[in-house]
Amino acid sequence: MEKRKKIYEGKAKILYETDNPDLLIQYFKDDATAFNAAKKGTINQKGIMNNKISSKIFEYLESKGIPTHYEKMLNEREMLVKRVQIIPIEVIVRNIAAGSLCKLLGLEEGLKLACPTLEYCYKEDKLNDPMINEYHIRALKLAKDEDIETIKKYAFKINDLMKEFFKSLSIDLIDFKLEFGKFKGKVILADEISPDTCRLWEVGTGKKLDKDRFRRDLGNIEEAYQEVLARVTR
């Protein structure tokens, strides 16, 4: 294969240039981190599973009218994506209390929220991705007001679509994280959507089918990701 220029390497993925200035290759690694990389490990075959799961979900969202950076799957670990300017904000949507929200508000894990919530975190590893609000986004010029409105609209629509999608696979969508980018002046969904970036609980048993198995040392991590992949692609 020809030598490709690496333009970015994150904790779970690598981005390479292509001959087309508008397109990048997104490579999925097996590396797993938690708590801002304080905990490190690998999940065998994770890159392959997340590439496939993410591809399916992007295809589904595109079919429902959400613009994404996804172009096509290239091989087991790589997808072709549009080259976006990433907006340095993580957008977290929640349906059920878990993780950091339980800590923040003293809630019992599993509490059904009366309505979905949306949080923003500033993507800045050295600050541990602190939670921010729209005033901070405006004050730091992280995104334009009109782009924030678009992001909110997409985030709640994606929640509705993904809740229904996973429900049909007997999986409850507890919460998830999204990243958006700008491509030719428009906001589009970027990054990945996978068990790394969602909390997914099996309907009925409540079994965790996501990265919390790694974060909390619950075991059977590969099996959980495999289970999600099997259901998403069946």
Chain residues in the site for ligand TMP (CB under 6 A): 92, 98-101, 129, 175-177, 197-199
CB of 188 to ligand TMP, least distance (A): 18
Q: Is the CB of 88 or the CB of 144 nearer to ligand TMP? A: 88
We find the least distance from the C-beta atom of residue 13 to ligand TMP, in angstroms, to be 12
Q: Shortest gap between Cβ of 12 and ligand TMP (angstroms)? A: 9
Task: At 125, list the tokens.
Answer: 């590893």
**Calpha distance 173→160 (Å, rounded):** 10
Which is nearer to ligand TMP, 142 or 198 (by Cβ)? Answer: 198
CA dihedral sign of residues 193, 143, 103, 159:
negative
Q: At closest approach, how far in Å is the CB of 177 from ligand TMP?
A: 3
Q: Which is nearer to ligand TMP, 17 or 31 (CB)?
A: 31
Rounded Cα gap, residues 101 and 182, in angstroms: 29
**Position 166: which residue type?**
F
Task: Tell me if residue 87 falls in helix, strand or coil.
Answer: coil
Of 128 and 170, nearer to ligand TMP (C-beta) is 128
Return the number of the residue (27 or 120) whose C-beta is nearest ligand TMP. 120
Q: Rounded CA gap, 94 and 111, in Å?
A: 11
In the complex, the smallest distance separating the C-beta of residue 98 from ligand TMP, rounded to whole angstroms, is: 6
Which among 92, 109, 91 is positioned nearest to 208, based on CA atoms? 109
- How buried is residue 226: exposed, middle or buried, by Cβ count under 10 Å (0-12/13-18/19+)? middle
